[in-house]
Structure 1
Amino acid sequence: MSLLDYTCVSMPDFEVNGLLDTGTVAVKDVHCLGTCRHRSAEECAASTHLVFPYRGVYMRHVGSDQSVADANHVLFFNSGEGYQVSHPVSGGDDSLVLAVSQPLLRELVPAALVAKRDELGFRGQSLRIDPRAQALVALLRHSLRSGSIEPLEAESLALTLVCRSLGPRTTHEKSATHARQRLVDRVKVLLAGDLTRRWSLAEIAAEIGGSAVYLTQAFQQVEGVPLYRYHLRLRLARALDLVTGYDDMSALALDLGFSSHSHFAAAFKQAYGRSPTAFRQSALTKSL
């Protein structure tokens, strides 16, 4: 059984906190120290979960397949499916775990994403999500932690997040050769390992190997967005995580490596439709 199946548990490497459980929707906040670099022992989820990493990065392995878990993706943990986890960089990770009752999940999951198996499950390991879905993850977590949201509203917000994450307008399924996928995975781990660094293409190419042009083309093919935008979204997702703990948005911008408060505020508003200050106020009072 996976740690995700417990409501509230604390272990040397894990802390799982239940934020909501209505019988229809369950939301948990999972913190992992990420001390183990090699693959973990195989785990198995008792029920199908959607997992939204919002801080840090880890690798999830299902047989010979692997997926990078970062704030730009939702991961699918299928009931009865074995998996392993490894941590390529230090710092640990945090994820919001969302479980929906099986009858309701069957209604929400598009047929194209359903795996051919006895129990309901997803065909792939993960999908890339858009900034709106990232914002919903942060709003749901912050509002539940602050107690500023009623259970009915939280359920509605959680189901909106599921629909947004699985919808064809916002998701991106990977389509590339195995070699290109592994190359892009290495780039994603590199970017997530140091969000505040202002990378250049030449520096990334030097770290990963290969030409800057090839890396740019491969990344665009695999992820469907330019490399620079992918990195920006990771940094902005970290801002969503931290914003309720900052009174000074200029300090937050500086800590995240932005060149100025105005640059940070403009990028944040373009991605999420409101300023960092307005988002902070919303997250601490009402979810929407």
Structure 2
Amino acid sequence: MSDFAVARLFDSGTLAVRDVLCGGQCRHRSQEECASSTHLVFPYRGLYLRHVGQDQSVADANHALLFNAGEGYQVSHPVSGGDASLVLALSEPLLRELAPAELLQKRDQLGFRLQSLRIDARAQALVALLRHNLQLGRIETLEAESLALTLVCRSLGPRTTHITAATHARRRLVDRVKVLLAADLTRRWTLEEIAAEIGGSAVYLTQAFQQVEGLPLYRYHLRLRLARALDRIPHSQDMSALALDLGFSSHSHFSAAFKQAYGRTPSAFQRSALAKSA
């Protein structure tokens, strides 16, 4: 049985959206694969690593991964439970128009210079709204295209992305922290506990994480938990139970954090995701 399940959610000819689920059974590097087209991948559940040569990038809900046509890569799954991603493939003229020149390679063939970019909370919400509404069939073609293009612009835009100048060693250290957080997403970590697991001092880890990701470690972890909420809210009947299941101390704590990140309460987001065209 294949470790992948691919659902084609939308295709207008110039823009296609797929939902890709992976069982994550390959703990070590897979055999090399090659992308057939340049596209963007938005993980929304779980975590995996993508390896391009000696470089690697963490694929989690705080990032968009940038795949180039014809470029070889490998993946590994250091965390059990599998993963899920929303994949956006745009026509070359459309992507060239939307992508800032500084993110593209200086060559005739379209390609990105980077493996991944960190996205902000609004982009996370756009990923969830696009996926939920396409899955439910409650969105018109024009609206789906507009929402997808807004997501791409938001994710590639200079105001919301963060490109690090940190050393290779610091980036690998921070990658280990990300894997640790994803392995037990609902745990209420302390800095000392993370430092004990990873090695090094809490102060150094805090400084390294801030440099690599451009935001504090605690906020990064919070956004991962809130992104998991975006995935589960449309199917949740009890928001208090969901809050506790995601590691929040109470429903009010969860609701306040969710509203601060996404501009609406969990219940309001659920209504927008389920009744968009009702």
TM-score scaled by length of structure 1: 0.95
Alpha-carbon separation, structure 1, partners of 2:111 and 2:195: 37
Structure 1 position 157 matched with structure 2 position 150: no
Pairwise mapping of residues 173-188 of structure 1 onto structure 2 (< 5 A)?
173-188=163-178
Of residues 29, 43, 46, the one that matches 1:39 is 29
Large movers: runs of 4+ above 2 Å:
none
Report the Cα offset of residue 118 of structure 1: 3.3
Of residues 82, 92, 103, the one that matches 1:102 is 92
For residue 75 of structure 2, give the secondary structure of its aligned residue in structure 1. strand
- Matched to 1:119, the amino acid is Q
RMSD: 0.8
Alpha-carbon separation, structure 2, partners of 1:23 and 1:141: 18
Report the Cα offset of residue 117 of structure 1: 3.3
Q: Deviations over 1:194-247 (max 9, x none)?
A: 111000001000100000000000000010000000000000000000000102
Structure 1 position 198 matched with structure 2 position 185: no
- State the match for 1:49 in structure 2: 39
Report the Cα offset of residue 35 of structure 1: 0.5
- State the match for 1:268 in structure 2: 258
- State the match for 1:4 in structure 2: none
Alpha-carbon separation, structure 2, partners of 1:115 and 1:102: 14
Structure 1 position 236 matched with structure 2 position 219: no
- State the match for 1:131 in structure 2: 121
Alpha-carbon separation, structure 2, partners of 1:121 and 1:280: 36
- Matched to 1:177, the amino acid is T
Corresponding residue pairs, total = 277
- Matched to 2:143, the amino acid is E
Of residues 14, 17, 22, the one that matches 2:7 is 17
For residue 96 of structure 1, give the secondary structure of its aligned residue in structure 2. strand
TM-score scaled by length of structure 2: 0.98
Of residues 46, 62, 65, the one that matches 2:55 is 65
- State the match for 1:8 in structure 2: none
For residue 9 of structure 2, give the secondary structure of its aligned residue in structure 1. strand
Alpha-carbon separation, structure 1, partners of 2:166 and 2:159: 20
Of residues 243, 247, 253, the one that matches 1:253 is 243
Structure 2: state its 5+ residue gaps.
Answer: none
Alpha-carbon separation, structure 1, partners of 2:275 and 2:107: 42
- Matched to 1:28, the amino acid is R
- Matched to 2:199, the amino acid is G
Alpha-carbon separation, structure 1, partners of 2:230 and 2:127: 9
- Matched to 2:176, the amino acid is R
Report the Cα offset of residue 59 of structure 1: 0.3
- State the match for 2:267 in structure 1: 277
Structure 1: state its 5+ residue gaps.
Answer: 1-10
Q: Deviations over 1:158-191 (max 9, x none)?
A: 0000000001111001210111010000001111
Alpha-carbon separation, structure 2, partners of 1:89 and 1:75: 18
